Chains A and B, each alone.
Chain A
């Protein structure tokens, strides 16, 4: 028989990498990602008794992390004075800190950070979390057509950038 505290600690250790990765890849900044991930787990601590299964916990963590990270992006944009997102030049994006465990991950993340936030979020859920577009639509509360559109546009943009740099990098 595990106590609520033990159950929370076990859930935290099991899902910390997932939550931190989603937040980091949406925000592109380690400090902000850690802050969001911490908030998400503190909220989970309050909500855990209501979550019935492991599947429910995972879905809850993904949804809350995406929403919190998107809110943090909006706040950052508001502070920066820019209401719209401008595509940064890939070469202008610094290597993500802390360094990625593999060169491929580092390269993919740099490419990812050049995408608009909505496309980035959908691509992270699709390829990091291996979710189907239908599930992404449900979790983000978006129409399925919008999710598919973000995926297609995001992949199109990434393909364009990858054609220029990724293959040479991987093969080189």
Chain B
């Protein structure tokens, strides 16, 4: 039992010694730094990307405002046209009413003419 325990201890000691960190390959750090530097290029172009999207967003907002204004103007014109038509109908009804009143007055003043056979 003690012998086996010693074997494990020996093995663990060998593992600690044998598994010391290996040096990284020659030029590894330089390659990583170069890769990081090359990856910065798209990052630098990010503002242009955002400006592009800002422009697109502004265009969409302006288009939305123009469409809303056009729709509002069209509805206003329709409302004005509707009010005019309504006023004309009311005027026509008043004229008809006054004409009928005049005919009724005439009939009331000369009732006998129509009553005669």
Binding site for B on A (CB under 8 A): 8-9, 12-13, 16-21, 24-25, 30, 34, 37-38, 41-42, 45, 98, 100-102, 104-105, 107-109, 112, 123-124, 126-128, 130, 155, 158-159, 162-163, 166, 170
B19 interface neighbour in A20, A25, A159, A170, Cβ under 8 Å: A25
Q: Are A12 and B22 in contact, with the CB atoms below 8 A?
A: no
Cβ of B99 within 8 Å of any chain A Cβ, yes or no, is no
Identity of the chain B residue whose Cβ is nearest the Cβ of A22 in the assembled complex: B21
Q: Are A12 and B33 in contact, with the CB atoms below 8 A?
A: yes
Q: How many angstroms between the C-alpha atoms of A163 and B14 in the bound complex?
A: 13
Q: How many angstroms between the C-alpha atoms of A45 and B39 in the bound complex?
A: 11
Task: Chain B residues near A163: list those with CB within 8 A.
Answer: 7
Cβ of B36 within 8 Å of any chain A Cβ, yes or no, is yes
Q: Are A105 and B19 in contact, with the CB atoms below 8 A?
A: yes
Cβ of B1 within 8 Å of any chain A Cβ, yes or no, is no
Secondary structure of the A contact surface, majority rule: helix
A155 interface neighbour in B11, B33, B35, Cβ under 8 Å: B11
Q: Are A109 and B18 in contact, with the CB atoms below 8 A?
A: yes
Identity of the chain B residue whose Cβ is nearest the Cβ of A20 in the assembled complex: B24
Q: How many angstroms between the C-alpha atoms of A17 and B19 in the bound complex?
A: 12
Q: Are B11 and A38 in contact, with the CB atoms below 8 A?
A: no
Expressed in whole angstroms, the minimum distance between the Cβ of B35 and any Cβ of chain A is: 6
Q: How many angstroms between the C-alpha atoms of A130 and B13 in the bound complex?
A: 12
Q: How many angstroms between the C-alpha atoms of A155 and B11 in the bound complex?
A: 8
With A30-B25, A34-B28, A38-B31 known as contacts, the answer to whether A159 contacts B20 (CB < 8 A) is no
Cβ of B111 within 8 Å of any chain A Cβ, yes or no, is no
Cβ of B16 within 8 Å of any chain A Cβ, yes or no, is yes
Identity of the chain B residue whose Cβ is nearest the Cβ of A109 in the assembled complex: B18
Q: How many angstroms between the C-alpha atoms of A159 and B6 in the bound complex?
A: 11
Q: How many angstroms between the C-alpha atoms of A126 and B11 in the bound complex?
A: 13
Q: Are B28 and A16 in contact, with the CB atoms below 8 A?
A: yes
Known contacts A12-B32, A102-B18, then 5 further A-B pairs from the complex at CB < 8 Å, ordered by chain A residue: A34-B28, A45-B39, A100-B22, A101-B22, A128-B20
With A13-B29, A123-B15 known as contacts, the answer to whether A8 contacts B36 (CB < 8 A) is yes
Q: How many angstroms between the C-alpha atoms of A1 and B16 in the bound complex?
A: 37
Q: Are B21 and A128 in contact, with the CB atoms below 8 A?
A: yes
Q: Are B32 and A42 in contact, with the CB atoms below 8 A?
A: yes
